[in-house]
């Protein structure tokens, strides 16, 4: 592994940002939300990019940002839920340790509905609703699985406990991250 990088992958609503922030604090690493970096870089929202350039326009930008982030060192990177769709992105993810946050469609849909940034940042990709989640998960789960070093079921876990599970699995994998972290933290 050339750099100390942790990628968090998983569907919308799986908690990549909150879990990623928690891990970054505990490692003393920087945290990057790839969607936020993309919006800052291109000076527009993801919703606008989808509206003006379609999903393919967004995916091209997403790959540019991921290639840049893959050069970082000592960074936790929360990726967009569709990052695994492009082969070049799946290849870039091999520059780090990849943790896949999983939950069932009903849990993800409930979390997405409870997230106030959804309307502004997340376009409907296939009509919306839990049917969209089910349909896209069917396509994406094999892709998430193909790049993941570990899989963490987050359904019943707080972000702190999900961070614990990832850090424990990472260290026991023999690809221990540099930097200080404690094996657990308060709720
Ligand atoms: C997408 C998920 C979003 C964002 C974009 C597309 C997807 O990221 O990248 O709206 O295809 O699932 P989050 O998973 O952070 O919401």
List the pLDDT tens digit at each of the 187 positions of the chain.
447 999 999 999 999 999 999 999 999 999 999 999 999 999 999 999 999 999 999 999 999 999 999 999 999 999 999 999 999 999 999 999 999 999 999 999 988 888 766 656 666 665 578 999 999 999 999 999 999 999 999 988 999 999 999 999 998 887 666 654 444 444 4
- Closest residue to atom 10 of ligand 1, CA basis: 122
Identify which of 6, 3, 5 has the alpha carbon closest to the alpha carbon of residue 165.
Answer: 6
What pLDDT is stored for residue 119 in this prediction? 59
Q: Give, as one character, the DSSP assignment of residue 75.
A: E
Please give the structure tokens belonging to residue 169.
Answer: 């699995």
Ligand 1 neighbours, Cβ below 6 Å, are: 12, 35, 46, 80-82, 122-123, 125
Query: 123 with 28: CB under 8 angstroms?
Result: no
What pLDDT is stored for residue 156 in this prediction? 86
Three-class secondary structure of residue 96 per DSSP: coil
Atom of ligand 1 nearest to the CA of 33: 15
- Closest residue to atom 1 of ligand 1, CA basis: 81
What pLDDT is stored for residue 99 in this prediction? 97
What pLDDT is stored for residue 129 in this prediction? 86
d(CA 93, ligand 1 centre) in Å? 16
CA atoms within 13 A on the CB side of 140: 24
pTM: 0.91
What pLDDT is stored for residue 117 in this prediction? 67
What pLDDT is stored for residue 126 in this prediction? 53
What pLDDT is stored for residue 127 in this prediction? 59
d(CA 178, ligand 1 centre) in Å? 29
Distance CA 128, CA 111 (A): 14
């Amino acid at each position: 592994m050339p750099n100390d990088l942790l990628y968090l992958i998983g569907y919308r609503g799986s908690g990549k940002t909150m879990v990623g922030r928690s891990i970054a604090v505990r490692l003393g690493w920087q945290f990057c939300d790839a969607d936020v970096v993309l919006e800052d870089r291109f000076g527009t929202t993801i919703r606008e990019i989808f509206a003006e350039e379609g999903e393919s326009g967004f995916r091209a930008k997403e790959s540019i940002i991921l290639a840049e982030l893959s050069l970082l060192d000592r960074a936790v990177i929360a990726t967009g839920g569709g990052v695994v769709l492009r082969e070049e992105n799946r290849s870039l993810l091999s520059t780090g340790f990849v943790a896949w946050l999983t939950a069932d469609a009903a849990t993800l849909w409930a979390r997405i509905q409870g997230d106030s940034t959804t309307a502004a940042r997340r376009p409907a990709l296939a009509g919306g609703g839990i049917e969209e989640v089910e349909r896209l998960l069917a396509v994406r789960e094999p892709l998430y699985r193909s790049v993941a070093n570990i899989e963490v079921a987050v359904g019943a876990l707080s972000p702190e406990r999900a961070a614990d599970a990832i850090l424990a699995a990472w260290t026991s994998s023999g690809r221990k991250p540099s930097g200080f972290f404690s094996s657990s933290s308060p709720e």
